[in-house]
Amino acid sequence: MPRNEKLRLQRALRNWRQQDLADQLDVTLTTIQRWERGIQEPRTYYRVKLCDLFGLPPQELGLSDDDDQQALAAEVEPDEEAPEPAYPEPAEGSTLWTIPYPRNPHFTGRQELLATLDQQFAPAPLVTSTGIRRAALTQSQAIKGLGGIGKTQIAIEYAYHAREQQRYTHTLWINAASEETLLSNLAALKEVIPTISVHNENDQRALASEVLHWLEHCQDPWLLIYDNADDLSFLPTYLPVAGNGSILLTTRANSASVIASSLEIEPLSIEEATRLLLHRAQFKAEVTPQEREDASTIAMALGLFPLAIDQAGAYLEETGCNLQDYLTIFHQHRYELLVRRGKQASGYPDSVATTWNLSFQRVEASNPAAAEFLRLCAFLAPDQIPEELLIKGAAYWPPTLQQAVTDRFQFNQLLEALLAFSLVKRVGKTRQLSLHRLVQVVQLDRMSAEKQRQWAQRVVLAMNALFPENPAQTESWSLCQHYLDQVQACDTLIQNYQLLSPEAASLLSRAGMYLAGRAVYFLAEPLHQRALAIWQRSQETDPLPVAKQLAQLATLYHDWGKYGQAEQFYQQALSLYKRPAAQDNIGVGEAMRGLATLYNNQWKNAQAEALYLRAIDFYEQRFGPDYLEINFSLGGLAYVYVKQSKYAQAEALYSRAVSLLEKQPDLDQLRISSQLLGLAIVYGHQERYEEAEHIYQRVLSIREKHLGTEHFLIGFVWHELAKLYQKQGKYQEAEDGYQRALKIREEQLGPGHRHVADSLNGLGTLYCELKRYAQAEECLQRALRIHEQLQKPDHFLVSDVILSLATLYSNQRKDEEAEHHFQQVLYLREQVLQLDDERLAAALYHLARFRQAQDRSQEAIELYQRTLQIQQQVLGPDNPMTIATLQSLQEALQAAK
């Protein structure tokens, strides 16, 4: 048995901890660890005390062998008159190694960081080109970060890694947690550096000075590690100023650059964190894909934080708990698990919660406002916290914090206190802060439920005050996006703490409007739904907020293409607006216009026309004929007439809307661009191509100036301009326009949006016209898949694409496929959608032309007659489409003769 193992065994037999033995001998824990690991031997004084304490001879404690008794007997205290040491080098081949920890068998990842340390500490040549030996200079490097992020473990791993490479002759470890501890550790090195001697061996400062002097004159390469150097104020005094060595610091302090260049330690990558958890939990067998996925989920729940992952792995190993059960337990008992360190902790005995609680206590003692600030941050989205939120929301914070955040000097002092422990970080130069999610967990669980609710209310009130009032205006979108993460955090607070205030509902509603405007409907919907639920609690006393919220939900579903839900919510809103307290509110006209637009987009022209007229009458009666909001209804009604080929009426309405907007003192260029776009469409249908193109270019100029070239509203203009070029036979310009619209819509709205399908449909019809059939089919099939995923398979938008495919197959003489698709379109529009308007007429007309091409004249004639009957009733006998059908019927009759 190794000699050092005998001492450890005797201690263990008495059930003493290393600390127990250190206390009885009045030495440090590190000294006992070094004795038991064989790093150093006890001096004569302590060998005698050890023998007395254990009641055993030195041999049984591994303190001496028979052949070195003389050496022990000769060991005496240093002579008081001893000359000043000359610091000779240790004997050839001897090395100093005082790392107090074994190599961590679970250490995972951090290879890039270790490589960086290798590079930073790469030895420089000590001989110049002239052959003159220059003085060696020390190289200093700090690794900094939050407590538990793995700084000490990285330092340990680097020390062992460097020893494998034989980079250093001597490797020394100093605990720098305080000046007293550092002095004690430096002084203790006299036991491993045989030449260290001072007049009074109890004079730790003199011993520390001698150790530093020895390092500065040592010719062999050395590595000096200062661990836990969080207080940097006293450290420079104890750093070698020269020597052939490298100094590695681990610190929580953010400002280590005065002493050394620094590397900030970030959480592990998902892959590294997963591997660490599985390794620490002793998963020795081959890991299944499900286990690896569960481990990754746990690692992400723990914020990829090394110490927390080590704790989780220890828990899994010690309890035999499986991964899925651990995740369930963690969500229910987060704080308890973060407090639990486990029975096998080594190297870093404190838990995550213990480590941070000590930091929190020190922060609170030094700067109470900083502690309040940290409590506030526990309720915010942690990755990007805007500083202006903390400053502009000051009215809602407690007095201590309110005063600190409104004075820039005090605010910086506050941040300094937190940065000293790496509890928060600045994000680049953007005036944003971040903190780790587990810091939030520990903070939250230190508060009472009442305190948590109080802070949650403060955050929601502040965010409601800061979030833009008009999120529908694109000018406010950048600010909305800036605050979006914090709004979503507020949404969680509102749910968790049941914050059912008007401010909470207002914040959710406005955030939902912004997200809907950006076509992120699946995120907008739950915000609107929760806002509605809050407002509905007071609808008996005040129906207006409920009605407005219902209309906003209806608009969301309308834009999303969920027309059934949209109609339901519009009708509910209009029902509430009929109450005496609400019937004169402007929201009445908005709800009527919204429902009219819904019918308009469904080609329910009669219902749309009636509602637009009612909305216009409502505005004119209550607010006058020049009321600005009328322009929306004017434009909507104009579009109804465009579809019915009533171009003169449509042009008059668009012109009135443009004139109305131009009268405004503060001309809204974006709003006028919408009405100009409608006017350009009318001109295109009237074959006034030059006028139409001129207006399209004007609209492009307005929107690009205000929105940029890649905004999704620019995509609408390019799409319509492409259709204009296609009508004129300018096929290259048309293709370019469709492609530009498609690119913008895919990037801004996502590849599965219905407007993307519109551009694909337009591009497909163009390729069909150009007989580029393979490309046409690819575009149309993709458009069909998008519509089928977004809409019901029987939706009329799906039928539009199917009709384009039917035409494609007809042009290719693929009669069987064409027949199937024409019949499908007719079935959808006639039997399922029960249409009796021009869309049904269009399906009949295209099928008639297909029959005529097949020389099935009688069937074609019957279909033309049905088409003509609908068009004469809906569009009128003088409509161009009606006239075109009449001509086709006459041709079919002539051919049949």
pTM over 0.75: no
Residue with tokens 């914020």: 303
Task: Look at residue 240 and tell me if it is in a domain.
Answer: yes
Residue 652 within any structural domain of the chain: no
Tokens 């090395």 belong to which residue? 95
Counting residues of the chain whose pLDDT is more than 90, the rounded percentage is: 35
**Rounded Cα–Cα distance for residues 264 and 424 (Å):** 12
Mean pLDDT of 490-508: 94
pLDDT tens-digit profile of 684-704? 999 999 999 999 999 999 999
Q: Cα-atom radius of gyration of the chain, to the nearest Å? A: 40
What's the CATH number where 579 sits? 1.25.40.10
Give the phi and the psi of residue 97 in degrees, each rounded to 5.
Answer: -145, 110
Considering the domain architecture, whether residues 415 and 523 belong to the same structural domain is answered as no
Is 796 inside any structural domain? no
| CA separation for the pair 251, 733 (Å, rounded) | 63
Report the pLDDT value the prediction gives residue 86, as an integer from 0 to 100.
34
- Residue 808 makes CB contacts below 8 A (sequence gap 6+) with 764, 768, 773, 776, 777, 780
Share of the chain above pLDDT 70, in %: 89
Instruction: Specify whether 164 is located in the same domain as 225.
Output: yes
Residue 68 belongs to a domain: yes
Q: 499 and 366, same structural domain?
A: no
Beta bridge partners of 143: 250, 263
> Measured between alpha carbons, how far is 241 from 135 in angstroms, rounded to an integer?
11
Do 539 and 576 meet the contact criterion of CB atoms below 8 Å apart? yes
Instruction: Residue 321: give the domain boundaries.
Output: 270-349
One domain for residues 563 and 438: no
d(CA 365, CA 490): 30
Tens of pLDDT, residues 95-134: 888 888 888 877 877 888 888 888 888 765 544 444 444 3
Classify residue 710: in a domain, yes or no: no
pLDDT in tens, 136-163: 456 888 888 877 788 888 899 899 988 8
Burial class, 498, CB count within 10 angstroms (exposed 0-12 / middle 13-18 / buried 19+): exposed
Instruction: Specify the higher pLDDT residue, 768 or 708.
Output: 768
DSSP element (H, E) containing 595:
helix 586-601
- Which of 383-392, 437-446, 482-491, 676-685 is predicted least confidently? 437-446
Q: Is residue 80 part of a domain?
A: no
Higher-pLDDT residue of 13, 298 = 298
Band of residue 67 on the pLDDT scale cut at 50, 70, 90:
very low
Do 433 and 505 lie in one domain? The reply is: no
Interval 551-565 mean pLDDT? 90
User: Are the beta carbons of 163 and 171 closer than 8 angstroms?
Assistant: yes
For 70, the 3-state DSSP assignment is helix
The predicted-structure confidence for 370-385, as pLDDT tens digits, reads as follows: 999 989 999 998 888 9
Last residue of one domain, picked from the residues 537, 561, 593: 537
- Bridge partners of residue 386, in order along the sequence: 432
Closest by CA to 3, choosing from 63, 52, 43, is: 63
Q: Are 296 and 309 in a shared domain?
A: yes
Which residue's entry shows tokens 């000043």?
Answer: 84
Assess whether 496 and 548 both reside in one domain.
no
Please determine, for residue 66, whether its predicted confidence score (pLDDT) is greater than 60.
Answer: no
Checking if the pLDDT of 880 tops 90, the result is: no
CATH number at residue 31: 1.10.260.40
The pLDDT of residue 192 is above 60: yes
pLDDT tier at 351 (50, 70, 90 boundaries)? low
For residue 80, pLDDT over 70 is answered with no
CA separation for the pair 356, 636 (Å, rounded): 60
Q: Does residue 81 carry a pLDDT above 60?
A: no
Name the band, by pLDDT with cuts 50, 70 and 90, for residue 37. low
Whether 569 is in a domain gets the answer yes
Tell me the mean pLDDT in the region 836-852: 87
In a domain, 693, yes or no: no
- Of 568, 597, 627, the position where a domain reaches its end is 627
Q: Which of 575-584, 651-660, 699-708 has the lowest mean pLDDT?
A: 575-584
Task: Tell whether 116 and 251 lie within a shared domain.
Answer: yes
Phi/psi of residue 139, nearest 5 degrees? -120, 130
Output DSSP code: residue 340. Answer: -
Q: What is the pLDDT confidence band of residue 71, given thresholds at 50, 70 and 90?
A: very low
Read off the pLDDT band of 791 (50, 70, 90). low
Residue 532 CA to residue 530 CA, distance in Å, equals 5
Helix axes 689-707, 712-728, angle to 10 degrees: 160
For every residue of 462-497, DSSP letters joined together read HHHHHS-S-TTSGGGHHHHHHHHHHHHHHHHHHHHT
% helix / strand / coil in the chain, to the nearest 5?
A: 65, 5, 30
Rounded mean pLDDT of 385-394?
90
Q: Based on the structure, what is the number of domains in the chain?
A: 7
pLDDT attached to residue 580 = 79
Statement to judge: residues 405 and 311 lie in one domain: no
User: Residue 75: pLDDT above 80?
Assistant: no
* Residue 94: predicted pLDDT: 63
CA distances to 450, 493, 498, 552 from 488, in Å? 22, 9, 15, 19
- Residue 445 CB partners (closer than 8 Å, separation 6+): 334, 335, 353
Of 264, 284, 314, the residue at which a domain comes to its end is: 264
Task: Mark whether 516 and 551 lie in a shared domain.
Answer: no
Q: Which pLDDT score is estimated for 319?
A: 76
- φ/ψ of 816, rounded to 5, equals -65, -45
Residues 199 and 237 in one domain: yes
Q: Are 363 and 390 found together in one domain?
A: yes
- DSSP 3-state assignment of 433? strand
